[in-house]
Amino acid sequence: MTTYRAVQVTGTRDFRLVDRELVEPAPNQVRVRVEYCGVCHTDVLAAEGLRADPEQPIVPGHEIVGVIDAVGAGVGAWRVGERVGIGFLAGHCGECDPCRRGDFVNCRHQEQTGTTVDGGYAEVVYARTSGLVRVPDEVPPAEAAPLLCAGLTTFTGLQRIGARPGALVAVQGIGGLGHLALQYARSLGYRVVAIARGREKEALARELGAHHYIDSTEGNVADALQALGGAAAILATAASGAAMNPLVAGLAPRGRLVVLGAAPDPIEVGTADLLFGTRTIQGHLTGTPIENEDNLSFSAAHGITPRIELFPLSEAPKAYARMLSGGARFRTVLDARG
């Protein structure tokens, strides 16, 4: 083969299936034959013209699982035939101040897969080795794809809350992030509360691991949380600042609101809700490749799986629209195997 298929986008949702030239990987990079790529809400950065130069073609997608088929100069720890994953962060430089202090997530010279460099809506992707994740055989590759971003973000977010076993932890939103967060929180030994709109989601929330369910349309969410003793942490996964506004008052003393969902509108909170109770609002962005390997191992050990809808690569625009509509249950995944 001298070419491969890729779905690139320019402007706003101008998707095109094109043939790209197959080349050798650059030094310290590998070439990966894509098997599956998840469609994530963050793909809006590429597809909705939110990049610095939206007229420059880019291949979206950062929940990539595939097999290495070529390695570049200087690559020693990775081999042809190895199944790997590639997430949103495309590989740290190892030389900037954050990297030298071990803060690889905030590397100053890190590309974003599918946003600043080509991603996985393609049969082939090229990746920096510092961004690679080993995918264990016991995790099916189609299910591993969403775990590389949605799974990693919720898993590492829960690891940052510092709550004791048995503490009350709430998950706001039962979508692509939230349906995984409920499973992780239950497996980590927390008493889990699901917060969503409408009673029709309660049975699913309990099936996914929730001990309690709060319908946000029936009353004050903060009061309902305080009636349960107050939340040590709340993972806010819904992409709505307005939906996050009432949550802080539902936290226990020294509780944390961990913001995972990227919303277009701001979070508004009363200062008294922060001061009295010494509460915290913090943002959380994904995790490192080695944390992603921990995430996959934990998921395999505890039977944590995303619920996915598969689409062929040629239907990437349809899969993207399905994700954006909120109708997917709960992650759309592209099959790039041809």
The CATH code that applies to domain 3-149+287-335 is 3.90.180.10
Asked whether 244 and 259 are in contact (CB, 8 A), the reply is yes
Count, residues in the chain:
338
- What is the tens place of the pLDDT at every residue in 248-297? 999 999 999 999 999 989 999 999 999 999 999 999 999 999 999 999 99
CATH of 161-283, one of 3.40.50.720, 3.30.420.40, 3.50.50.60, 3.40.50.200: 3.40.50.720
- What is the tens place of the pLDDT at every residue in 188-231? 999 999 999 999 999 999 999 999 999 999 999 999 999 999 99
- Cα separation, 214 vs 193, in Å, equals 7
The helix or strand, by DSSP H or E, that contains position 320, with its residue range, turns out to be helix 316-325
- What is the tens place of the pLDDT at every residue in 314-334? 999 999 999 999 899 999 999
Region 127-140: mean pLDDT is: 98
46 burial type by CB count under 10 A (0-12 exposed, 13-18 middle, 19+ buried): buried
- What is the tens place of the pLDDT at every residue in 15-58? 999 999 999 999 999 999 999 999 999 999 999 999 999 999 99
Pairing of strands 29-39, 14-21: unpaired
- Two tokens, residue 100: 């030298």
**pLDDT score of 1 more than 90:** no
Q: What pLDDT is stored for residue 137 in this prediction?
A: 96
Task: Read off the pLDDT band of 308 (50, 70, 90).
Answer: very high
Region 221-243: mean pLDDT is: 96
Q: Please name the residues in contact with 38: beta carbons below 8 A apart, sequence gap of 6 or more.
A: 61, 63, 64, 145, 146, 148, 149, 150, 308, 331, 332, 333, 334
- Position of tokens 């590492």? 156
**pLDDT score of 77 more than 90:** yes
Main-chain phi, psi angles of 319, to 5 degrees: -65, -40
Q: What pLDDT is stored for residue 320 in this prediction?
A: 98
128: Cα separation from own chain's centroid: 19
Q: What pLDDT is stored for residue 239 in this prediction?
A: 86
Equal fold, 3-149+287-335 vs 161-283:
no
First to last CA, the chain: 14
- What is the tens place of the pLDDT at every residue in 79-108? 999 999 999 999 999 999 999 999 999 999
- Cα separation, 147 vs 168, in Å, equals 24
pTM: 0.96
Q: What pLDDT is stored for residue 310 in this prediction?
A: 98
* Domain boundaries of the chain, sorted by first residue: 3-149+287-335, 161-283
Region 220-247: mean pLDDT is: 96
Q: What pLDDT is stored for residue 218 in this prediction?
A: 95
293 burial type by CB count under 10 A (0-12 exposed, 13-18 middle, 19+ buried): middle
**pLDDT score of 338 more than 90:** no
Q: Please name the residues in contact with 296: beta carbons below 8 A apart, sequence gap of 6 or more.
A: 85, 133, 135, 136, 139, 144, 147, 151
292 burial type by CB count under 10 A (0-12 exposed, 13-18 middle, 19+ buried): buried
